[in-house]
Amino acid sequence: MVTVGTPLPGYEVRLDAGDGGPDAEGQPDPARLGEVVVRAPGVMRGYWKAPEVTAETLRDGWLHTGDIGRFDEDGYLYIVDRKKDLIIRGGFNVFPRDVEDAMVEHPAVALCGVVGRPDPTYGEEVVAFVQLMPGAQADEAELVAFAKQRLGGYKYPREVHILEGVPLTPVGKIDRKRLRTLL
């Protein structure tokens, strides 16, 4: 995983875990994850003619980015995932990127995108969409078993769908919005 660096001079950056506990500000705790929030004179004042969105994004002088991050022991910030993409399965947080990274370790998998599907028992269920390497062979059951060996019991996808191509955004990121339409 690549760092985005340390905060610029004059910028305060902290992690808001949303649990009511103290926020982490550049503290070296790689296990602590939270939403990246920023405060500085150079941070935006709001969205043009969108006071509701502004009130949701700017709270108590802090810009809530929607990114989930962590700080390493040297104060470097790492972006782990997007808050809106977080899957909550049975009360446990599942970051799609963790599942995607594990799935692409399979020699047949070229690309993987993960989303949550509503589930009456667990709240959400983890669903993976994979694109296989050219000429490679793998089936859904094999890929579920592979993920189960590498991920915690609540993290591995219970469903895997093999696609000709995993949809990407114009900037080359997994298009989770389009994947959700395939559920």
Residues 13-34: pLDDT tens digits? 999 887 655 565 655 566 678 8
Taking a C-beta distance cutoff of 8 angstroms, is the pair 158, 126 a contact? yes
**What pLDDT shows up at residue 72?**
87
C-alpha angle with apex 92: 82 to 177, nearest 5 degrees? Answer: 35
Distance CA 19, CA 152 (A): 22
Distance CA 59, CA 101 (A): 33
**What pLDDT shows up at residue 27?**
57
Distance CA 17, CA 15 (A): 6
pTM to 2 decimal places: 0.80
What share of the chain in percent tops pLDDT 90? 81
Are 101 and 56 in the same domain? Answer: no
Average pLDDT over residues 127-133: 98
- Beta strands 58-59; 77-82: pairing state: unpaired
Average pLDDT over residues 89-97: 93
**CB neighbours (10 Å) of residue 182?**
12
pLDDT higher than 80, residue 117: yes
- Residue 100's SS3 state is helix
State both tokens at 78. Answer: 């790492």
**What pLDDT shows up at residue 137?**
97
Are 137 and 166 in the same domain? Answer: yes
Distance CA 100, CA 105 (A): 9
Does the residue 20 lie in any domain? yes
Distance CA 34, CA 15 (A): 5
Distance CA 57, CA 48 (A): 13
**What pLDDT shows up at residue 88?**
94
Are 29 and 68 in the same domain? Answer: yes
Are 103 and 125 in the same domain? Answer: yes
Are 99 and 67 in the same domain? Answer: no
Give the residue among 44, 38, 51 at the shortest CA–CA distance from 8: 38
Q: Note down the domain range covering 145.
A: 86-180
Are 65 and 99 in the same domain? Answer: no
Taking a C-beta distance cutoff of 8 angstroms, is the pair 85, 78 a contact? no
- The last residue of a domain, from among 82, 99, 132: 82
Average pLDDT over residues 95-123: 96
pLDDT higher than 90, residue 138: yes
**What pLDDT shows up at residue 32?**
77
Does the residue 5 lie in any domain? no
- The last residue of a domain, from among 82, 110, 130: 82
